[in-house]
Amino acid sequence: MADVITVNGNVKFSITLDPSVWIFDDRKFKLEDFFASIGEEKEKEQDESLMKIGQQWDRELTHGVAPTKQSEKLFVEKKKIVGDYGMYLGPFLKNAEPEENASTLVCRLENEDEFSLPLQEAYEAVLCFAIDGKPIRENGPVHLYFGDGRNIGEPIQGIIGFTVV
């Protein structure tokens, strides 16, 4: 298994991606949040309710026993690295600058198979790079989910590179 992924083919710039460092990237997001938002419209009432709960929580924290600086730091560090994380593929494709006649993204897999998807659809795809806060080693380094979530249960795994055609 390779730890890095290349994006090449019908692009102005071939680029190399290292998913092992994405955990530090501000663009990352929790996959559970992504999956929860697919096909659902957020209700204003729900948001207001969550705000009230959050305000109550803040009040209880400020009036309750103050945690030590060390326990706060450990909580923040643990919070940051727990869960499954993803990044949109789109920004990386934009950096590679596909040529105007490019129409397809081919995912090259470890088992030498290939999976193709329309380039426009690839811009919305999500790359899962961490499961339980750890880099994906088995069938990795990334798993690809379609932007509409239709393959939530069966992501494309074992990706070793992308070729734009």
pLDDT tens-place string over residues 93-126: 999 999 999 999 999 999 999 999 999 999 999 9
How far, CA to CA in Å, does 142 sit from each of 16, 62, 135, 163?
Answer: 13, 41, 9, 15
* Domain 5-37+80-164 = CATH 3.90.420.10: yes
Domain boundaries, the chain: 5-37+80-164
CA distance 165 to 14: 13
**Which residue, among 151, 103, 150, has the nearest Cα to 123 in the 3D structure?**
103
Q: Which residue, 33, 4, 8, is CA-closest to 21?
A: 4
pLDDT digits (tens, 9 = 90+) for 132-165: 989 998 898 999 999 999 999 999 999 999 999 9
Residue appearing with tokens 């989910």: 145
